[in-house]
């Protein structure tokens, strides 16, 4: 892949990724539908286990909630974006940290410091998100911090000198 083609594709991919959040600011459904692969095997893992999406038809159902006039996206921030394009130039993968905020019926919603990864495929000259995964870092939750303390305490213990690990 020629370096100017790679730079152009990186720009296009970054735009697709920003648009995958930005469409909600104006509820631009046409833009939303242009970003994602409309495949039966498209999937998204969200931070909660109840919102795993498999297939475009299931993903599209989320639009009802997102398009609800009481739901208002307020803004988003994508940072630490890394994009890698395959040698063939037809597939790319990415990672980033995302903040997303809004309100539903006047009540705020949002997420901060969400880790976001995914894969895009170039189809007919346009990049489409084929899968994505969003997660929260374990070490940011109180339970994870508690488990880390237990682990640290365990590491400080010494095994008896006659004990061996197999």
The larger pLDDT score, comparing residue 152 to residue 36, is at: 36
At 83 the pLDDT is 98
Whether 126 is in a domain gets the answer yes
The larger pLDDT score, comparing residue 89 to residue 5, is at: 89
Residue-wise pLDDT tens digits, 84-110 = 999 999 999 999 999 999 999 999 999
At 158 the pLDDT is 42
Whether 70 is in a domain gets the answer yes
Task: Write the Ramachandran bin of 27: left for phi over 0, alpha for psi from -120 to 50, otherwise beta.
Answer: left
Q: Which residues, 6 or more positions from 13, have their beta carbon under 8 angstroms from its beta carbon?
A: 83, 85, 92, 94, 120, 127
Q: How many residues does the chain have?
A: 166
- Number of separate domains in the chain: 1
Is a pLDDT exceeding 70 seen at residue 147? Answer: no
User: What does pLDDT average to over the chain?
Assistant: 84
At 1 the pLDDT is 61
Is a pLDDT exceeding 60 seen at residue 164? Answer: no
Q: Which domain holds residue 26?
A: 3-156
Whether 165 is in a domain gets the answer no
Nearest to 13 by CA among 35, 30, 42, 31: 35
Is a pLDDT exceeding 60 seen at residue 146? Answer: no
Whether 164 is in a domain gets the answer no
Whether 138 is in a domain gets the answer yes
Whether 162 is in a domain gets the answer no
At 78 the pLDDT is 97
Q: What is the Cα–Cα distance from 58 to 19, expressed in whole angstroms?
A: 20
Mean pLDDT, range 72-82, rounded to an integer = 97
**CATH code where residue 103 lies:** 3.10.450.50
Residue-wise pLDDT tens digits, 113-144 = 999 999 999 999 999 999 999 998 877 654 44
Whether 144 is in a domain gets the answer yes
Whether 22 is in a domain gets the answer yes
Mean pLDDT, range 17-45, rounded to an integer = 94
Which of helix, strand or coil describes residue 165? coil
């Amino acid at each position: 892949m020629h370096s100017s083609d790679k730079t152009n594709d990186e720009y296009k991919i970054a735009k697709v990724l920003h648009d995958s959040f930005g469409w909600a600011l104006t509820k631009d459904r046409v833009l939303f539908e242009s970003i994602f692969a409309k495949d039966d095997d498209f999937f998204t893992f969200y931070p909660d286990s109840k919102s795993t999406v498999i297939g475009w038809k299931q993903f599209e159902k989320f639009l009802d909630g997102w398009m609800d006039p009481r739901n208002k996206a307020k803004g988003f921030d994508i940072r630490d974006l890394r994009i890698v394009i395959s040698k063939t130039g037809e597939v790319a993968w990415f990672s980033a940290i995302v903040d997303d905020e809004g309100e539903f019926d006047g009540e705020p919603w949002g997420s901060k410091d969400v880790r976001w990864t995914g894969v895009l495929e170039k189809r007919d000259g346009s990049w489409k998100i084929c899968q994505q995964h969003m997660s929260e870092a374990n070490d940011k939750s109180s339970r994870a911090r508690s488990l880390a303390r237990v682990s640290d305490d365990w590491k400080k213990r010494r095994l008896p000198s006659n004990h061996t690990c197999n």
